[in-house]
Amino acid sequence: MIYKLCHGAPCWCGSRKSYSDCHESFDRKISALKKQGFKVPPKKIIKNEEQLKGIRESCKINIEVLDRVSEKVVPGISTGEINELVHELTTGMGAIPAPLNYNGFPYSVCTSVNDQVCHGFPSKDVILKDGDIINVDCSTIYKGYFSDSSRMFTVGKVSPEAKKLVDVTKECIYKGLEKVIPYRPLGDMSQAVQNHAVKSGYSVVREIGGHGVGLKFHEEPFVSYVIPKGTGMVMAPGMVFTIEPMINMGKPDVYIDGNNDWEVYTMDGSLSAQWEIMVLVTEEGNEVLCY
């Protein structure tokens, strides 16, 4: 249903523009899609320009932190040292590491090595060595706005098989990004990610996915990479979400470490890789906010 506002009334998004100049056309398109049976986004996750400005500032810090981390990921560094670096850099720029104390998570960053799928605990006892692959997942709160992205790193000389997994996982991100098209469903993006991973001989983790982000650390929608084209929530302009598929060299099955209820591993012990970008849907297509 079209949002019931007078033509010249202030828009519901908080932009202080008139409804007619802001989201009236948007609401008509969304209403038509809802009548066709598509799942449409709630208005609370549609960001206005003022909010996007704050989110972009947070993203700049997140990108800077990962850029600096990339210079330090070498054989001999511990994941605990990476955690300390992320904390110092983030707080030094006036921001807060979003993972720290989030639902009890005790660190400022996630460092997932080899068969760890995600949410790896940094430790002074985990020393990176030649042949390792590691995901560093960094998230930032700046003036109340959230950003989130992660990168894969190869440590020293890695096997061709590990290098291929890391490279293909990054390719999956951008195959998905090509399908981030306004007023199309998330399944279009998901199918593109899944097709490229499977064609390359890998599997896609089913239980864990991406998420909306910006005003909170995790918002709607849950972003799956195993739903088919034509399904899922409509990608509407103003939505911000992550594309972060977890791609396994072996089977897709995973388990959570029962000792901490956080760290996720591949069930078969195979390598896993993940890249994460943060994307804004626009009327023209999309914009990568964080990487």
Q: Which whole number is the average pLDDT over 178-200?
A: 98
pLDDT at 1: 39
pLDDT tens across 67-104, in order?
999 999 999 999 999 999 999 999 999 999 999 999 99
Strand, coil or helix: what is 34?
Answer: helix
In the block, which residue shows the tokens 């054989």?
75
Instruction: Give the pLDDT band (50/70/90) at residue 5.
Output: low
pLDDT at 109: 98
pLDDT at 8: 72
Which CATH architecture fits 46-290?
A: Alpha-Beta Complex (3.90)
pLDDT at 6: 59
pLDDT over 90 percentage in the chain = 97
Query: What are 120's two structure tokens?
Result: 């790896």
Our measurement of the distance from residue 243's CA atom to the centroid of its chain's CA atoms, rounded to an integer in Å, reads 5
Instruction: Give the pLDDT band (50/70/90) at residue 4.
Output: low
pLDDT over 70 percentage in the chain = 98
From 248, 242, 226, select the one nearest 276 (Cα to Cα): 242
Across the chain, mean pLDDT equals 96
Q: Which whole number is the average pLDDT over 168-197?
A: 98
> What is the DSSP pairing of strand 110-113 with strand 272-274?
unpaired
Our measurement of the distance from residue 187's CA atom to the centroid of its chain's CA atoms, rounded to an integer in Å, reads 16
| Single-letter code of the amino acid located at 198 | V
Secondary structure of 137-190 in HEC code, one letter for each residue: EEEEEECCEEEEEEEEEECCCCCHHHHHHHHHHHHHHHHHHCCCCCCEEHHHHH
pLDDT tens across 210-250, in order?
999 999 999 999 999 999 999 999 999 999 999 999 999 99
Please name the residues in contact with 283: beta carbons below 8 A apart, sequence gap of 6 or more.
Answer: 182, 237
pLDDT tens across 13-23, in order?
999 999 999 99
pLDDT at 288: 98
Q: Does residue 115 have a pLDDT over 60?
A: yes
Q: Does residue 2 have a pLDDT over 50?
A: no
Instruction: Give the pLDDT band (50/70/90) at residue 282.
Output: very high
Residue pair 50/15 in contact (Cβ under 8 Å)? The answer is: yes
pLDDT tens across 142-165, in order?
999 999 999 999 999 999 999 999
Considering all CA atoms of the chain, what is the largest pairwise distance in Å, rounded to the nearest integer?
A: 64
pLDDT at 175: 98
